[in-house]
Amino acid sequence: MRHQLIRGLDLALQAITIGLIVILAVIVLMGVAFRYSGNSLIWYDEVAIVLLAWITYSGAALAVLRNAHLGFNGLLYGLPPRGRLVLFSVNEVVFVAVFAVVLWGSWVILGIFGTETMTTLRWVPRWFIQGVVPVSAALMIAGRLLTLPERLAAVRTGQDPDIEEIAHEIARAEAEITGLDKRP
């Protein structure tokens, strides 16, 4: 069940992020075309900035779910087993606490906006634009907690996922090169 939830969340975040990238590309192309024609879109810059922020937040949530953010695995896995568990535990508590504060703070800030709207698109409420922050913070916490058992198991066994990924990619590249050598 948990793996299905992780897979579903992963697919949803991929679709959202890719969709936002496509929408941003279309809007940028529209902005260029309209500007070239002498009829600049007044809302182009503001919407492009918002979309870029949304892409960043959805991509960050996806990276958390995939444990793909930059880290210091060499430090973590270089420690003895007990030290690994302590550092891992502290890291997890700090991560969840920081994003819980972000979630709470951004939710409170949404209430402050009241009836404010975007500057150029007066029909788009500011809470909708800024709502990406608490939603992504909640997704980051959920992603971190959902993947906790696998990451904890790796820490307990001392299996650095970066080393495993590098070995996998080297094997894949070697197989590809070998396959190319056999072609007529």
183 confidence band (pLDDT: 50, 70, 90): low
pLDDT in tens, 7-48: 999 999 999 999 999 999 999 999 999 999 988 888 888 899
pLDDT in tens, 113-165: 777 888 888 888 888 888 899 999 999 999 999 999 999 999 999 888 888 88
Phi, psi dihedrals of residue 125, rounded to the nearest 5° = -70, 145
Q: Which of 48, 42, 50, 49 is nearest to 25 (CA)?
A: 48
What pLDDT is stored for residue 156 in this prediction?
A: 93
- State yes or no: pLDDT of 112 exceeds 90: no
What pLDDT is stored for residue 13 in this prediction?
A: 96
Q: State the chain's mean pLDDT as an integer.
A: 90
57 confidence band (pLDDT: 50, 70, 90): very high
| Domain locations in the chain as residue ranges | 2-181
What pLDDT is stored for residue 184 in this prediction?
A: 58
State how far the Cα of 162 lies from the Cα of 12, in Å rounded to an integer. 25
What pLDDT is stored for residue 6 in this prediction?
A: 93
pLDDT in tens, 86-108: 999 999 999 999 999 999 999 99
182 confidence band (pLDDT: 50, 70, 90): low
| Complete DSSP assignment for 136-177 | HHHHHHHHHHHTHHHHHHHHHHT--HHHHHHHHHHHHHHHHH
